[in-house]
Amino acid sequence: MKDQEKLLEKAFLALTHAYAPYSGFQVGACIKTRDGNYILGANIENAAYGSTNCAERSAVFAAYSQGYRKEDIEGLAIVTRAQQLTPPCGACRQVLSELLGQETPILLSNGKETVETNIAKLLPDSFGAKDLDK
């Protein structure tokens, strides 16, 4: 994927918009669309913890809300300032497995280290529409 540096830069910008007064753990995400747009997402916490939304879901939901679909998404960056790289939580993996292409590049970075992966590697044998009785 080209423009990885710009995608990461925008994800770190999104991180500055995080609302994390309870955990203090800020996460930023950015989606790069095939038409060259960048869509930001940040984690937004809530005192009712179950109402919290993760950065990667914020970004992908914003992209879908703007009319983009999985075939329109070129890549996703998820960033923190943690000591170690922080992969998506289980709920985010489930959402991403449906709303991203299985091989869409996902960059994970903490500003010191960056790795590229995809949802097929992060959630193999995922549950999806194929598993529903229709």
What are residue 21's phi and psi, to 5 degrees? Answer: -70, -15
- Output the CA angle 40-110-74, nearest 5 degrees: 40
Chain Cα centroid distance, residue 72: 15
How far apart (Å, rounded) are the C-alpha atoms in residues 28 and 12? 6
**H helical segments located in the chain:** 4-15, 55-65, 90-99, 119-122
> Does the annotation mark 71 as catalytic?
no
User: Which residue is catalytic, options 9, 56, 74, 103?
Assistant: 56
57: three-class secondary structure by DSSP: helix
How far apart (Å, rounded) are the C-alpha atoms in residues 38 and 20? 23
Catalytic residue list:
56
